[in-house]
Structure 1
Amino acid sequence: MKKLLQISLGVVTSIGGFLETGNIATASQAGAAYQFTPLWAIVLGTVCVIFLVEMSGRFAIASHYTIADGIRARFGANIFLLTLAIAFVVNLLVLAAEIGGVSLALQFLTGVKFQWWALPVTCAVWLLLWRGTFGLIENGISSLGLIALSFVVAVFVMGPPWDQVVKGMVPTMPSEDPLHYSFIVVGILGALISPYLFYFYSSGAIEDKWDKSYFGANRAIAIIGMSFGAIITAAIMVLAAMIYPARGIEDIEGYEQIAMILTPAFGKWGFYLFAASLGITCLGAVLEVGLAQAYLVAQGFGWNWSEDAKPRDNPAFCLVYTASLLIAMIPIAVGIDPLKLTIFSMAITAISLPFGVVPFLILMNDPTYVGEHRNGWIGNAAVIFIVAMAFVLSIVATPLEIFGG
């Protein structure tokens, strides 16, 4: 019964961690510009993230190490510092985008510009991290993200052409503007395969004291939970494909346009459902990214770390998420467009993937850490594919940002 509850909570909270401003923005832009054809990128990204999340949990259970611990112990200080520097910067960009998402949701609900919400949102997130527990953040705040199921309900209310939806799951390349299409695909993959998710997940397994009886639960959470979040992301793309081209909108230029995505299905209440979905899922993501940042630094330098501990017992851990939140708040407070920041941060996330995935592949095949639970040929084939894809993304993301973004 306890394992079943853990799986249920893991599936539910996957919405708060998996679905966030990056998924919402990239899926909406893709649907508006290319209708159903980029759905295959969501399928591909979801399969990749399922493998990586399952391995993150399996590594933590088998080795009693987090991923950051393992990289430092296996590869030494120099490799770890390189990984840390890249992940730290990428996490700051993602954190800023998520703060922007919460601030925009509050702007939609109150009419007050998002810039003015940056500091209150940051303070509220900091207070939750300072006073909250891992269980509150993982199962409490993130569970509120169930409101995002309104996107799935809206798809069935609207009744999409299912034959085109299925056809969109087969990889294709349009003849017109392939650079922009490729940039959108890179952004989708960057939003789905975010490295912070693996650091957070492996740390959560240690926080929750998962033992070897949790291998099955870990696998179920990875498969069902990530798929659950991906279905909502796909629903957003399907809605965008049905709504925006019919209104002559092929290029989403701001969240104000995305905010109307639920109104055809739910009328004026759709606007408030979208604002609530955006705000709650981004709040869950801000908390998880902030914690992932603190976990990464504290574990790498051997400091005390635990969200369940009192701040006085791990002051350096708390200092990291405090400083990260303050730095990430600045772009939103000065008025940088959250949508442009989100799209840019997702492309940068794609560039950073090799630096996190390659060491992870080696760790998952090292019997010193995982023993008999190291990767089989299927797992290795999947990760090698992800590594190859990550290298391609890291090479093409920058020119695509320039010429197709």
Structure 2
Amino acid sequence: MTGLLQLSVSSVPCLSRAPPRRYGASGPQGAGPRPTEVVPVTEPIDDGRKAGHHERVDDDGGQVAKWKIIGPGIVVAGTGVGAADMVATLVAGSRYGYMLLWAVLFGVIMKIILVEGAGRYSLATGYTMFEGWRRLGKWTTFYFAPYIVIWGFVYGASAMSSTALPLAALFPQVPLIAFAIATGIIGFLLVWFNHYAIVEKVSAVLVGLMFLTIVTLAIIALPNVPEMLGGLVPRLPDDPNGIMYTLALAGGVGGTITLAAYGYWLREKGWYTPKWMQVMRIDNTMAYVITGIFVVSMLIVGAEVVRAAGVTLSAGDKGLLDLERVLEERYGLFVGKAFLVGFFAAALSSVIGVWNGVSLMFADFMGRMRGLPDGHPDTRVGGKYFKWYLIWLTFPPMILLFLDQPFGLIIAYGVLGALFMPFMAVANLGLLNGKHIPAEWRNNWWQNIALGITAVLFIILGVYQLWNAIT
């Protein structure tokens, strides 16, 4: 009887291949690697899936696929909108009122399409985003390798400085550089000693704080509803740079390398097979609904508060300190200080998300370059390469806090950064069609049209940003 059972199981194609054991499939909260299990890197099979991926449906112990409010999407929402995005939206509101509301909402839809594609690819195939990019050709590695190194160095200093600004305004007796260094170290320690589940919970608290603060501020500002409704009709500003400013607002807000980190956060959450597809789509949509409400709230504040005050905001993140002074004059000390708390929450959530998500991407990149087996601990949270990049994000950039940013480095940062969103959009088109993904999860015609439009707009915006970086 035992022999017959063994024969019958081995004769069924979907059961004859034993699912590979690997690191990290340790439950819904990504409790970390199991250091005794190592398998060789599996070769891709013909239908676009990584070998053994389809059989992993119940690697999580048969957990029912249910969406929860606190998931990878909340980390995306917290990471995607930083101080620079807040300033850009405020300036748009102060210059043009509600005219570009449609562009903000269109940008949210573009991000939903882009990130859904990244999540769908990861769940359907079992490949990480970097593995997918490598399947498109070596050119992706030649771009990504210098980008992630230069981006981390410059962004680390920028993020620490942005997070320090509201703290320095709240406690002016402490130097801004001291707060910047402290912020970097806090982010470093939080990510170094904790797994994804803690990062997710901290992000949820920060997102809740920034959301409550900014949305309440927008309500206090009493938005002009008829004007807002008029802003849903696509129009462009009359000034010469109106088209590019509109594209920058639509494409730039919430659009960074962390969009590609979403697939890694899905894996850390324990959502790594097709049964989580619908949950992922809900999670991603909710992330950008939160982002959209937040950004629209900033547009309202710009239109109703900054424009009414006749104030020209300073360039860069310091424009938010100008807003704090306007809020104090108009609504009192409490509202002004509450805004600084929301500003700090938004900036710190970006630090924590990047420190975790982009370090995961770098660890995967290094693991693939070194030919390490699937799930090797060096490529996961807390692994060697993860910690390397975490150090790179935190400590070398502190040098830039004491110096003027080197011109050549900033040019390289601007050039490579301008190309990332077009790179991701075009790569998604390649990965979500043809042999790179199982047939049932490939793009349909309307998804290709939507992603194609997104790619074209990001290419136009990328060329514009590239020109600005060079000139």
- Is TM (by shorter chain) over 0.5? yes
Bigger RCO (CA 8 Å, 6+ sep)? 1
Amino acid at match of 1:201: Y
1:17-28 pair list within 5 angstroms: 17-28=79-90
| CA distance in structure 2 between the aligned counterparts of 1:396 and 1:14, rounded to whole angstroms | 26
Instruction: Tell me if structure 1 keeps the 8 A contact 2:102–2:233.
Output: yes
2-structure distance, mates of 1:345, 1:168: 34
Bigger mean CA deviation after superposition, 255-264 or 203-212: 255-264
**Structure 2 residue aligned with 1:369:** 437
Q: Which amino acid aligns with 2:459?
A: F
* Partners of 1:91 and 1:123 in 2: CA distance: 15
Partner of 1:152: 215
CA distance in 1, matches of 2:379, 2:229: 42
Tell me by how many angstroms 1:197 deviates: 2.3
Q: What does residue range 35-114 of structure 1 map to in structure 2 within 5 Å?
A: 35-72=97-134, 74-111=135-172, 112-114=174-176
Residue 351 of structure 1, CA deviation:
4.1
Offset, 1:236? 0.6
1:358–1:387: 8 Å Cα contact kept in structure 2? yes
* DSSP-derived class of the 2:261 partner: helix
- In structure 1, what is the Cα distance between the partners aligned to 2:110 and 2:283? 14
| CA pair 267-144 structure 1, distance change in 2 beyond 3 A | same
Matched with 2:400 is: 331
In the alignment, is residue 235 of structure 1 matched against residue 304 of structure 2?
no
Judge which range, 295-304 or 281-290, deviates more. 295-304
| Cα distance in 2, alignment partners of residues 160 and 203 from structure 1 | 38
Percentage of identical aligned residues: 20
Q: After the TM superposition, which residues 2-13 of structure 1 pair with which residues of structure 2 at under 5 Å, given as runs?
A: 3-4=65-66, 6-10=68-72, 12-13=74-75
Change (3 A) 1:186 1:258: farther
In structure 1, how many angstroms separate the alpha carbons of the residues matched to 2:379 and 2:402? 27
Correspondence list, 1:171-182, <5 A: 171-175=234-238, 177-179=239-241, 181-182=242-243
Instruction: State the shift of 1:292 in Å.
Output: 3.0
Distance (Å, rounded) in 1 between the aligned partners of 2:232 and 2:415: 22
The answer (yes or no) to whether the contact 2:101–2:232 under 8 Å persists in 1 is: yes
Provide closer, same or farther for how the CA distance between residues 189 and 232 of structure 1 changes in structure 2, counting only shifts above 3 A.
same
1:307–1:2 CA distance, 2 compared to 1 (3 A):
farther
1:363, distance to aligned residue in structure 2 (A): 0.7
* Distance 1:402-1:245 versus aligned 2 partners, 3 A rule: farther
Contact residue 31 and residue 239 of structure 1 kept, 8 A: yes
Give, as a single letter, the amino acid of the residue that structure 1 aligns with 2:264. S
**1:3-402 mapped onto 2 (5 Å cutoff):** 3-4=65-66, 6-10=68-72, 12-72=74-134, 74-111=135-172, 112-148=174-210, 149-175=212-238, 177-179=239-241, 181-210=242-271, 211-253=273-315, 254=318, 255-260=320-325, 262-263=327-328, 267-302=332-367, 304=376, 309=381, 311=382, 314-334=383-403, 349-399=417-467
Higher helix share: 1
CA positional deviation for 1:322 = 0.9
How far apart are residue 208 of structure 1 and its match?
1.8
Question: How far does residue 61 in structure 1 lie from its aligned partner after superposition?
Answer: 0.8
Task: Give CA deviations for 1:95-140 in whole Å, capped at 9, x if unaligned.
Answer: 4332222111211221133223222111111111111111111232
Structure 2 counterpart of 1:86, one-letter code: Y
Aligned-residue offset at 1:67: 0.8
Q: Which has the larger radius of gyration?
A: 2
Deviation at 1:13, TM superposition (A): 4.2
Give the Cα–Cα distance (whole angstroms) in 2 for the partners of residues 40 and 295 of structure 1: 34
Distance 2:397 2:70 in 1: 32
Query: How far apart are the structure 2 equivalents of 1:345 and 1:40?
Result: 29
How many angstroms apart in 2 are the aligned matches of 1:88 and 1:168?
40
The CA distance in 1 between the partners of 2:280 and 2:166, in whole Å, is 33
Encode CA deviations 1:265-291: one digit per residue, 9 max, x unaligned.
853222222222122222121122223
Aligned to 1:339: none
**How far apart in 2 are the matches of 1:348 and 1:78?**
14
Q: Conserved in 2, the CA contact under 8 Å of 1:28 and 1:240?
A: yes
**Structure 2 CA distance for partners of 1:81 and 1:41, relative to 1, 3 Å:** same
Name the stretch that deviates more: 366-375 or 222-231. Answer: 366-375
Q: Which amino acid aligns with 1:365?
A: N
Aligned partner letter, 1:234: V
Tell me which moved more, 286-295 or 200-209.
286-295
Count, aligned residues: 392
Shift of 1:252: 3.6
The AA in structure 2 aligned to 1:386 is: T
Return closer, same or farther for 1:231/1:92 CA change in 2, 3 Å cut-off: farther
Q: Which moved more, 1:32-41 or 1:89-98?
A: 89-98
Q: Provide the alpha-carbon RMSD of the alignment.
A: 3.0
